Chains A and B, each alone.
Chain A
Amino acid sequence: MSRKWVISAATAAAALFIGLGAVQAADKKLVVGFSQIGSESGWRAAETKTAKAEAEKRGIDLKISDAQQKQENQIKAVRSFVAQGVDAIFIAPVVATGWDSVLKEAKEAKIPVVLLDRQIETKDPSLYMTAVTSDTVHEGRVAGEWLAKQTGGKCAVVELQGTVGSSPAINRKKGFDEIVAKNPGMKIVRTQSGDFTRAKGKEVMESFIKAENGGKGICAVYAHNDDMAVGAIQAIKEAGLKPGKDILVVSIDGVPDIFKAMAEGEANATVELTPNMAGPAYDALIAFKKDGKAPPKWIQTESALFTPETAKAEYERRKDAY
Chain B
Amino acid sequence: MMLSAPGPSRNLPQYGALLVVLLANWLLFPDFFAIRLQDGRLFGSLIDVLNRGAPVALLAIGMTMVIATRGVDLSVGAVMAISGAVAATMTGAGWGLPAVLAASLAAGLLCGLWNGLLVAVLRIQPIIATLILMVAGRGIAQLITEGQIVTFTSPALAFIGGGSFLTVPMPVVLTILVLAVTALLVRATALGLMIEAVGINRLSSAGAGVNTPVVLVAVYVWCGLCAAVAGLIVTADIRGADANNAGLWLELDAILAVVVGGTSLLGGRFGLVLSVVGALIIQAMNTGILLSGFKPEFNLIVKAGVLMVVLLLQSPTLTLFLPRPKGARPMGAVKPPVAPPPVAPKSGGAKP
Do the beta carbons of B244 and A210 come within 8 Å of each other?
A: no
CA distance A231 to B162 in the complex (A): 13
- Note all chain B residues with C-beta closer than 8 A to A202: 237-238
Stretch at the interface among B109-117, B291-299, B303-311: B291-299
Stretch at the interface among A23-31, A144-152, A186-194, A278-286: A186-194
**A318: min CB distance to chain B, Å:** 12
Stretch at the interface among A36-44, A123-131, A299-307: A36-44
**Closest A residue to B245 using CB positions:** A197
Main secondary structure of the interface of A (DSSP, over half): helix
How many residue-residue contacts, CB under 8 A, span A and B? 82
Query: B182 at interface (Cβ–Cβ under 8 A)?
Result: no
Query: A97 at interface (Cβ–Cβ under 8 A)?
Result: no
Query: A270 at interface (Cβ–Cβ under 8 A)?
Result: no
Among the listed B31, B45, B242, B286, which residue makes an inter-chain contact with A197, where contact means beta carbons less than 8 Å apart? B242
Query: B9 at interface (Cβ–Cβ under 8 A)?
Result: no
Do the beta carbons of B234 and A238 come within 8 Å of each other?
A: no
- Note all chain B residues with C-beta closer than 8 A to A208: 290
- Note all chain B residues with C-beta closer than 8 A to A191: 295-296
Do the beta carbons of A193 and B45 come within 8 Å of each other?
A: no
Given contacts A231-B238, A239-B38, contact A207 B290 (CB under 8 A): yes
Do the beta carbons of B299 and A193 come within 8 Å of each other?
A: yes
CA distance A40 to B248 in the complex (A): 14
- Note all chain A residues with C-beta closer than 8 A to B246: 199
Stretch at the interface among B144-152, B206-214, B269-277: B144-152
CA distance A108 to B303 in the complex (A): 51
Given contacts A192-B296, A198-B238, contact A211 B29 (CB under 8 A): yes
CA distance A164 to B295 in the complex (A): 10
Which residues of chain A from 200 to 235 have a CB within 8 Å of any chain B CB?
202-204, 206-208, 210-211, 227, 230-231, 234
**B286: min CB distance to chain A, Å:** 8
CA distance A202 to B242 in the complex (A): 14
Do the beta carbons of A210 and B31 come within 8 Å of each other?
A: yes
Which residues of chain B from 149 to 201 have a CB within 8 Å of any chain A CB?
149, 151, 162
A interface residues, tally (CB under 8 Å): 32
Among the listed A39, A199, A239, which residue makes an inter-chain contact with B238, where contact means beta carbons less than 8 Å apart? A199
Given contacts A197-B245, A199-B246, A227-B149, contact A190 B39 (CB under 8 A): no
CA distance A238 to B246 in the complex (A): 21
Do the beta carbons of A207 and B287 come within 8 Å of each other?
A: yes
Query: A274 at interface (Cβ–Cβ under 8 A)?
Result: no
- Note all chain B residues with C-beta closer than 8 A to A184: none
- Note all chain A residues with C-beta closer than 8 A to B242: 197-199, 227
CA distance A130 to B299 in the complex (A): 38
CA distance A207 to B52 in the complex (A): 11
CA distance A234 to B291 in the complex (A): 19
Query: B43 at interface (Cβ–Cβ under 8 A)?
Result: yes
**Closest A residue to B37 using CB positions:** A240
Do the beta carbons of B238 and A210 come within 8 Å of each other?
A: no
Which residues of chain B from 114 to 138 have a CB within 8 Å of any chain A CB?
none
Query: B224 at interface (Cβ–Cβ under 8 A)?
Result: no
A interface list, Cβ under 8 A from B: 39-42, 45, 161, 164, 190-193, 195, 197-199, 202-204, 206-208, 210-211, 227, 230-231, 234, 238-240, 257, 322
B interface list, Cβ under 8 A from A: 29, 31, 38-39, 41, 43-45, 48, 52, 142, 147-149, 151, 162, 234, 237-240, 242, 244-246, 286-287, 290-291, 293, 295-297, 299
29 A–B contacts from the bound complex (CB under 8 Å): A39-B147, A40-B147, A41-B147, A42-B149, A45-B147, A45-B148, A161-B296, A191-B296, A192-B296, A197-B242, A198-B149, A198-B238, A198-B240, A198-B242, A199-B245, A199-B246, A203-B52, A203-B286, A207-B287, A210-B29, A210-B31, A210-B44, A211-B29, A211-B290, A230-B238, A234-B239, A238-B38, A238-B43, A238-B162
